[in-house]
Amino acid sequence: MYPAPFEYYAPNTIAEALSLLSQHGADAKVIAGSQSLVPLMKFRLATPAHVIDLRKVPNLTGIREEGGALVIGALTTHRTIERSETLRKKLPILPEAASAIGDPQVRNQGTIGGSLAHADPSADWPAVTTALDATVNAIKASLKKGDIVTLVGFGSFYVAKRNPRAGRNPRTNEPIKIKGAKVPKFRPGKALKDALN
């Protein structure tokens, strides 16, 4: 099936994309990897009159460390995340999750920002980013119509020491001793918030 006719735009800056969005309002949709929006358009479940492609907008892709935080551009593909050496070392759950998404074609085109904006409850990134307490710029609480996801940021993990302590078995209420251990801890960190502001 073919989508309904639409006007296609490829802005070169975020400002241009936002101006197109405000010009065309509810008749417009941004597009990133096209892996969710185009199937919806082909089934005519989405019929935007104006489609604004974000792929030429600079600085929306890539994975970088900023002040101890990991920041991932919204247009970074699943494949780039899957292959990132930085993420393999620092936060391997991300490449692992990316490798389970769809097939190579979907992973080469689909983006983390598109997946979060699409917000399919069965998708991988919404679950992973929720579990990691990720900060998502522009959709901290909810994504309003016309908002653009520009950055997906993560805090850092570090190994902390848990001291031995006395406790109680929650089922039997008997006193127990809890051994000291090394445990992973997550630190969202001021640096991450600063990086996103």
Ligand X SMILES: Cc1cc2nc3c(=O)[nH]c(=O)nc-3n(C[C@H](O)[C@H](O)[C@H](O)COP(=O)(O)OP(=O)(O)OC[C@H]3O[C@@H](n4cnc5c(N)ncnc54)[C@H](O)[C@@H]3O)c2cc1C
Please tell me the distance from the alpha carbon of residue 44 to that of residue 126, in angstroms, as a whole number.
25
- For position 28 contacting ligand X by CB under 6 A, the verdict is no
Q: Closest distance between ligand X and the C-beta of residue 180, in Å?
A: 38
| Secondary structure class of 21 (helix, strand, coil) | helix
Total interface residues for ligand X by CB under 6 A: 28
Using CB under 6 A, pick the residue from 16, 66, 96, 124 that binds ligand X. 124
Q: Closest distance between ligand X and the C-beta of residue 190, in Å?
A: 25
- For position 71 contacting ligand X by CB under 6 A, the verdict is no
CA dist 140 → 6, 48, 66, 115, 137 (Å): 31, 25, 19, 15, 6
| Secondary structure class of 34 (helix, strand, coil) | coil
Task: Find how far residue 5's CA is from the centre of its chain.
Answer: 30
Please tell me the distance from the alpha carbon of residue 42 to that of residue 123, in angstroms, as a whole number.
20
- For position 191 contacting ligand X by CB under 6 A, the verdict is no
**Which is nearer to ligand X, 148 or 191 (by Cβ)?**
148
**Which is nearer to ligand X, 87 or 149 (by Cβ)?**
149
Binding residues for ligand X, rule: CB under 6 A, are: 29-37, 39, 54, 74, 101-102, 106, 109-111, 113-115, 117-118, 123-125, 148-149
